[in-house]
């Protein structure tokens, strides 16, 4: 009897252990699934022929081969052009810009149309209902192909109204400027830049991914290592403007524009963050030091309880950082025409703890509603990036 009771107890213990093991296995499986889900890209895919399109909302948008700034440029899109959406991933949208080509661009530079576009005079209407329902994006006002990209390789390049040396000059471009190439005619190229369209001599434009080199003189940014630090990110919004602009979004937008200009000039460029993510101040500093940055630029936008305050301010901490701060500040103020608040000492972690040549630039006051509107404009953003770029050129020209 005792032996039978012992055997029953043994069997019950075994069953309990087996049940416990099953529960642990299930729990482990659930944890593994959750971890996998956390690391998988969370995106939205669109069915082929869904008709979902976006319209380019700024003068020039870079199309890349993947959803990150580290991917190479494949084409350029222009304001008002429409493209079919393939999928979304984080801050990026994949679009179809040719029959068999897709590329990625930043979400906030486009506007979702959210409805099937109507055929235009340039897009023949299809009179057969059954065919129109199956052809999908062929019946939407989608741009069939984006322009080829090129870079100016001359100090100054005239844009002319017609492909002729005697034609009216409608604009000028500087070394390293990225342009869209639309057509060629003899030794001329029709190009577009920042809403301007015209003709330039083809020998002064590099294509096929070549970067610009200064003819007859040194390109001061070639092989320089620049770390761009877009302030704030993730749960840290930075300041919020009078009309709701988040500093973290605007610093990233400026950083993207500056990144492309520096890459085109042959610099080695790193971003401390390239999406809406949080990064500690120490990690930002470390990125500059690990990459042995020749220049570390922390981008910010200012705020104050006084809504009338305005202008740009440059900061340095160590004496060896002052020359870079002055060069960047002066060139940026000259290009943006914002009020000059001067260059001064600033006790900020990213420049104080930085052994590299590091500066912090406040690019304007979001707390001033009038200035906030200016700072949000595509014109200001382009000018700010150009000013910072010019400042780096000037600095390395004098301190090479």
> In terms of pLDDT, which residue wins out, 392 or 2?
392
The per-residue pLDDT for 314 is 98
> In terms of pLDDT, which residue wins out, 301 or 122?
301
* Structure confidence by residue, pLDDT tens digits, 339-394: 999 999 999 999 999 999 999 999 999 999 999 999 998 889 988 998 999 999 99
Residue 43's pLDDT band (cuts 50, 70, 90) = low
Residue 242's pLDDT band (cuts 50, 70, 90) = very high
Q: pLDDT at residue 124 above 50?
A: no
Residue 211's pLDDT band (cuts 50, 70, 90) = very low
Q: pLDDT at residue 181 above 50?
A: yes
The per-residue pLDDT for 133 is 34
| pTM assigned to the model | 0.58
The per-residue pLDDT for 295 is 98
Q: Kindly give, in sequence order, each residue whose CB lies less than 8 Å from that of residue 333, ignoring residues fewer than 6 positions away.
A: 312, 340, 387
Answer whether 332's CB lies under 8 Å from 361's CB.
yes
The per-residue pLDDT for 260 is 82
Give the tokens for residue 51: 């008709």
The per-residue pLDDT for 203 is 83
The per-residue pLDDT for 10 is 56
The per-residue pLDDT for 125 is 34
Least confident of 38-47, 99-108, 135-144, 366-375: 135-144
Domains, the chain, with CATH or none = 45-115+135-139 (2.30.30.40), 148-206 (2.30.30.40), 225-398 (3.40.630.40)
Q: pLDDT at residue 300 above 60?
A: yes
Least confident of 3-7, 51-55, 222-226, 366-370: 3-7
* Structure confidence by residue, pLDDT tens digits, 128-169: 333 333 333 333 344 434 557 788 877 778 888 888 888 888
Q: pLDDT at residue 59 above 80?
A: no
The per-residue pLDDT for 52 is 83
Per-chain mean pLDDT for the chain: 79
The per-residue pLDDT for 46 is 59
Go through 76-112 and write b for each residue having 16 or more CB atoms within 10 A of its CB, e for each that does not. bbbbebbbbbbbbbebbbbbbbeeeebbbbbeebbee
The Cβ of residue 384 has, within 10 Å, a number of other Cβ atoms equal to 25
Residue 195's pLDDT band (cuts 50, 70, 90) = low
Least confident of 58-72, 110-124, 385-399: 110-124
Q: In what order do the strands lie in the sheet with 205-206?
A: 169-174, 156-160, 196-201, 188-193, 178-185, 148-152, 205-206
């Amino acid at each position: 009897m005792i032996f039978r009771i012992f055997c029953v107890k043994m069997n019950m213990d075994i069953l309990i252990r087996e049940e416990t093991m099953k529960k642990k296995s299930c729990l482990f499986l659930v944890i593994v699934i959750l971890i996998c889900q956390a690391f998988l890209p969370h995106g939205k895919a669109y069915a082929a022929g869904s008709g979902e399109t976006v319209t380019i909302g700024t003068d020039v948008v870079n199309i890349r081969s993947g959803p990150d700034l580290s991917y190479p440029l494949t084409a350029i899109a222009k304001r008002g052009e429409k493209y079919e959406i393939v999928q979304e991933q984080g801050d990026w949208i994949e679009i179809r810009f040719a029959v068999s080509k897709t590329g990625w661009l930043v979400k906030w530079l486009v506007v979702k149309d959210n409805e099937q576009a109507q055929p235009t005079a340039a897009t023949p209407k299809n009179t057969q209902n059954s065919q129109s329902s199956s052809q999908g994006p062929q019946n939407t006002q989608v741009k069939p192909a984006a322009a080829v990209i090129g870079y100016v390789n001359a100090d100054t390049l005239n844009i002319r109204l017609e492909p002729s040396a005697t034609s009216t000059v409608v604009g000028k471009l500087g070394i390293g400027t990225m342009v869209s190439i639309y057509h060629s005619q003899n030794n001329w190229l029709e190009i577009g830049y920042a809403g301007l369209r015209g003709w330039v001599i083809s020998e002064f434009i590099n294509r096929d991914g070549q970067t610009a080199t200064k003819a007859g003189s040194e390109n001061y940014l070639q092989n320089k290592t620049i770390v761009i630090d877009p302030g704030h990110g993730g749960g840290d919004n930075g300041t919020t403007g009078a009309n709701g602009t988040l500093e973290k979004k605007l610093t990233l937008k400026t950083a993207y524009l500056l990144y492309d200009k520096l890459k085109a000039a042959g610099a080695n460029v790193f971003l401390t963050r390239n999406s809406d993510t949080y990064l500690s101040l120490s990690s930002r500093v470390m990125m500059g030091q690990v990459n042995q940055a020749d220049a570390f630029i922390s981008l910010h936008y200012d705020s104050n309880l006084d809504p009338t305050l305005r202008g740009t301010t440059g900061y340095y901490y160590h004496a060896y950082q002052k020359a870079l701060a002055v060069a960047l500040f002066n060139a940026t103020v000259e290009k943006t025409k914002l009020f000059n608040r001067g260059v001064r000492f600033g006790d900020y972690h990213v420049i104080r703890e930085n052994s590299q040549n590091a500066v912090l630039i406040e690019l304007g006051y979001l707390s001033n509603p009038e200035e906030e509107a200016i700072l949000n404009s595509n014109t200001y953003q382009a000018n700010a990036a150009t000013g910072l770029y010019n400042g780096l050129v000037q600095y390395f020209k004098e301190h090479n």
